[in-house]
Amino acid sequence: MKILVATEKPFAPVAIRQIREVIEAAGFSIELLENYRKQEELAGAVSDADALIVRSDMVTSAVLDAAKQLKIVVRAGAGYDNLDLKACSEHNVIAMNTPGQNSNAVAELVFELVLFQIRGGFTGKTGTELRGKTIGLHAFGNVGKYVADIAKGFGMDIYAYDPFVSERVMKNNNAKQCMNVEELYRKCQYVSIHMPLNERTVKSVGYDLLRQMPPNACLINTARKEVIDEEGLLKAFEERSDISYLADVAPDCKAIFAEKYKGRYIFTEKKMGAQTEESNINAGVAAARQIVDYFKTGNQKYRLNK
Ligand code: 3PG
């Protein structure tokens, strides 16, 4: 049984060691394809694999066509917008993710971005503090809960909006429920986005929400760049000089930011929310275990496709 770990953005070596241990202890073999640049390389490497572990790597119909032996693909991470689930089903491939495993790393990145921004990039410029400020969590899943936890430590006033999460769960995690998304953006100086990318969320944050935010508003996006309506974002930036945008990774319109909005944004070079040794270990080992478990016992707990 061959398990291919294909990562255009590799796991830390310490994570690979642990992933290898899980796979080899089960009597399976592991092959690595790291830092590859072309989809054809993935298609070539997966041709005789029985299982595939990926991160944000695109698993398309073309990749699945080439994967003649593939039974299961596991996205080592939460967001699975890179997996073509319909094509997986058509190719009789089970698709899974590893929810929650890298959430803390993403939540910490939120504050790493915010602190750097509000202390003026550590240049000696007078900054501001977080204690007593409002933070809104746009979606309250695994990452949102970790952000709330950290925000509590900073003494922030925490709000959340998530149509799929009850007020009780929010309250248990120190967040006050907003009844609609407008209320969240109206109330909170800081809004941190934690929703998945899908047809309902694509371009769902734009001018109408941003214009309602309080003075010195700061939007933090460690989800997907596509959830932002970039035209609306630019319009809000044009109208208000007090808004900042901190994102993991840069929007398509980053050249306009570089030209016009210096000091009001931070964009990571490459998506790095989950780029810690700990989250690489958590997500990578979970993916390996889920594959082993599936082959040994048939467990399909984290299956995403029908
Ligand atoms: C996720 O959805 O789990 C994160 O965005 C991590 O993505 P990555 O594995 O490409 O870093």
- The Å distance, Cα 1 to ligand 1 centre, comes to 26
Question: Are residues 159 and 193 both part of a single domain?
Answer: yes
Q: Using CA positions, which residue lies closest to atom 11 of ligand 1?
A: 274
Tally of structural domains, the chain: 2
Give domain status of residue 302, yes or no: no
Q: What is the pLDDT of residue 73?
A: 99
Q: Whose CA is nearest to atom 2 of ligand 1?
A: 79
| Beta carbons of 231 and 208 less than 8 angstroms apart | no
Provide the pLDDT for residue 17. 98
In sequence order, what are the residues at sequence separation of 6 or more whose Cβ sits closer than 8 angstroms to the Cβ of residue 290? 74, 96, 98, 299, 301, 302
> Residue 131 belongs to a domain with what CATH number?
3.40.50.720
220 and 113 in one domain?
Answer: yes
Query: Which residue numbers in the chain have pLDDT < 70?
Result: none
Domain that holds residue 140: 103-267
Q: Are 147 and 107 in contact (CB under 8 A)?
A: yes
Q: What is the pLDDT of residues 110-162, one digit of tens each?
A: 999 999 999 999 999 999 999 999 999 999 999 999 999 999 999 999 999 99
DSSP 83: B
Is residue 180 included in any domain, yes or no?
A: yes
**pLDDT for the residue numbered 116:** 98
Contact of 75 with 28, CB cutoff 8 Å: no
Ligand 1 centroid to residue 305 C-alpha, Å: 19
Q: How many residues appear in the chain?
A: 306
The verdict on 215 and 282 lying in the same domain is: no
Reduced DSSP (H G I as helix, E B as strand, rest coil) percent helix, strand, coil of the chain, to 5: 40, 20, 40
Could you tell me if 96 and 150 lie in one domain?
no
Residue nearest to atom 6 of ligand 1 (CA): 274
Query: What's the gap in Å between 119 CA and the centre of ligand 1?
Result: 27
Residue 306 falls within a domain, yes or no? Answer: no
Instruction: In whole angstroms, give the CA distance from residue 6 to residue 56.
Output: 10
Locate 179 and state its tokens.
């009844």
Shared-domain flag, residues 123 and 69: no
pLDDT on residue 40: 96
In the chain, the largest separation of any two C-alpha atoms, in whole Å, equals: 61
